Amino acid sequence: MTRIGAPFLTVLILATGLSLLMTPSGLMTRASAAMQEDDADGIDRIVLRNGRVIEGKILSETDSVVEILVIVGGISAPTTYPRSEVLSIERNVETDTTIPAPASTTKSDSRAETATPRNSNSPDGKRVYVMNLKGDLGRDVTVTPLQRAFDDAISYEPEVIIVKMDCGSAAEGFDGMWTAEDLGPIIEKVIDDGWRVVFWIKRAQAGAAFLPLVSPEIIFMSDGRLGGVGDLSDFNIGDEVVNLKQISLRIGHAEGFAITGGYDPRLIRAMALEEEWLAVKIVGGQPQYITWEPRPEDGEGWTILTDDGKGKNKDKFSFDGNDVLTLNADWARRLNVADAVVDLLDDLIFELNIGRDYTIVEGRADKILSDWSDRIERAIDQFQRLQRDFQEAGQGSASMGRRINILKQMRGLLSANAEVLDPNGAQRAQIDIQIEQLRQQIRRANQRDR
């Protein structure tokens, strides 16, 4: 039997363009050309099959992908979408929207501005709901408990939902992003429905680093860190062209988190790709970026956040140097990712301008999440015990019935906890094959004994 490990997420290989892997200068040239089109032509609009609407300037189209310069809340970034996900395309839509130059970006408050506030007017003051996300996304935090936790939070009609986060990812490295992508829509809907959601970061590592970016409000603890996803450059399935397409696909999905919350997508690329240069200069309190090693003609005052990770620039230990970007509290604040850095809940509430008249809600979110985590832990322990029992049952014909019963128990355990233990059904399919093989052995043994 195969030991239970981190959830395996099957990723459909989509034919995507290579535009996101262009050199910085080439990318900027195409983006600039799109931005210089006549404003009278309006913007282009892509409607995805999931209902999401993307606005910007289409840069290129093929039979397999559409590349568009996305414009969200003052940020523009080229992003590629598989043609299979596109429902319709509208060109030159009349609008007052103009495309900003991408040289300097500021954090967008567009979602907070467009959402209808649902502030509490309870007699006991404004309600503040705090939930703790701990453990690993994909195991301790999955769709079911997170949805239940937010349902409970909303039932109290709070002024703000504070998500205190100390999480890694069950799937290591960049591919933990797929788990965050399953969870993101839950939080996006809560925000779009008018509820205020603030992430308070202790640790957001690997795939968990993407989840807070769906919210326009992030606060760091003084020792908080967000990142640890920089293994995408190592992606290799044996075909260079497919590798490039898959890297482009993953980057496009990850940049969607940043665009949703109003953060600069270049931070995502620096977190994910070892060869990605990113240097910053703070001008007037706002970060300006270049995606190459600073040159004399670029002027002074640049700080290198990430280098190309090659030769003398290669870090000895992953994530300890600057081959990839991991944000600490200081840089998160300076780059406008974090709105503030605080360690105490009272200080956090002060930063959120809640005032002194508030009540901390004693909700059920923490119990919902901890009960789920405990249940999964028990299921894994039980499954491993059954694996040992299966191996110790022996190989003789007398033990075949017992082995089948153990396999059935294992299958039932997987079915009851499929969201974590067997999301794609592969473990259960393997067990079904083993059960059938044992049944055939029993039938053959019975025929020999007649």
pLDDT of residue 231: 80
Highest-scoring range by mean pLDDT, 76-85, 315-324, 368-377, 431-440:
368-377
The CB-side HSE value for 225 (13 A sphere, CA atoms) comes to: 13
pLDDT of residue 404: 93
Has residue 73 got a pLDDT over 60? no
Poorest-confidence range of 156-160, 221-225, 282-286? 282-286
Chain centroid to CA 106: how far? 21
- 389 against 312, higher pLDDT: 389
Reading the block at residue 87, the tokens are 């429902």
Considering the chain, what is the average pLDDT of its residues? Answer: 80
pLDDT of residue 95: 55
- Mean per-residue pLDDT, 277-296: 92
Starting at the edge strand found earlier in the chain, the sheet holding 65-72 runs 75-82, 65-72, 53-61, 43-48, 86-93
User: pLDDT tens across 246-263, in order?
Assistant: 888 888 888 988 998 899
Reading the block at residue 243, the tokens are 């590798």
- 421 Ramachandran zone, left/alpha/beta (phi>0; psi -120 to 50): alpha
For 139, phi and psi rounded to 5 degrees?
-135, -65
Reading the block at residue 252, the tokens are 């496009």
Has residue 63 got a pLDDT over 50? yes
Poorest-confidence range of 121-130, 207-216, 345-354? 121-130
Q: Using an 8 Å Cβ cutoff, are 57 and 37 in contact? A: yes
User: pLDDT tens across 92-112, in order?
Assistant: 876 543 333 333 344 544 444
Band (pLDDT 50/70/90 cuts) for residue 28 is very low
Has residue 161 got a pLDDT over 70? yes
Poorest-confidence range of 92-96, 110-114, 145-149, 348-352? 110-114
pLDDT of residue 445: 81
- 175 against 168, higher pLDDT: 168
* Helices 400-416 & 426-449 angle (0-180, nearest 10): 160
- Mean per-residue pLDDT, 230-245: 83
Tell me the residue length of the chain: 450
Can you give the chain as a three-state secondary structure string? CCCCCCCCCCCCCCCCCCHHHCCHHHHHHHHHHHHCCCHHHCEEEEEECCCCEEEEEEEEECCCEEEEEEEECCEEEEEEEEHHHEEEEEEEECCCCCCCCCCECCCCCHHHHHCCCCCCCCCCCEEEEEEEEEEEECCCECHHHHHHHHHHHHHCCCCEEEEEEEEEECCCHHHHHHHHHHHHHHHHHHHHCCCCEEEEEEEEEHHHHCHHHHCCCEEEEEEEEEECCCCHHHCCCCCHHHHHHHHHHHHHHHHHHHHHHCCCHHHHHHHHCCCCCEEEEEECCEEEEECCCCCHHHCCCCEEEECCCCHHHCCCCCCCCCCCCCEEHHHHHHCCCCCEECCCHHHHHHHCCCCCCEEEECCCHHHHHHHHHHHHHHHHHHHHHHHHHHHHCCCCHHHHHHHHHHHHHHHHHHHHCHHHHCCCCHHHHHHHHHHHHHHHHHHHHHHHHC
Band (pLDDT 50/70/90 cuts) for residue 160 is very high
Q: Residues near 223 by Cβ (< 8 Å), separated by ≥ 6?
A: 202, 329
CA distance readout (Å), 124 to 119, 351, 358, 411? 13, 21, 7, 50
Highest-scoring range by mean pLDDT, 46-50, 252-256, 408-412:
408-412
Sorted by where each begins, the domain ranges of the chain are 110-236+272-367, 369-449
Has residue 57 got a pLDDT over 90? no
Has residue 213 got a pLDDT over 50? yes
Has residue 314 got a pLDDT over 80? no
Q: Using an 8 Å Cβ cutoff, are 126 and 359 in contact? A: yes
Q: Using an 8 Å Cβ cutoff, are 281 and 291 in contact? A: no
Has residue 119 got a pLDDT over 70? no
| Tally of CB atoms within 10 A around 192 | 13
- Mean per-residue pLDDT, 315-336: 81
pLDDT of residue 22: 30
- Domain 110-236+272-367 belongs to what topology? 2-enoyl-CoA Hydratase; Chain A, domain 1 (3.90.226)
Chain centroid to CA 382: how far? 30
| Tally of CB atoms within 10 A around 317 | 7
Band (pLDDT 50/70/90 cuts) for residue 21 is very low
- 395 against 327, higher pLDDT: 327
Residue with the two structure tokens 């404003």? 39
- 84 against 13, higher pLDDT: 84
Has residue 398 got a pLDDT over 90? no
Band (pLDDT 50/70/90 cuts) for residue 180 is very high
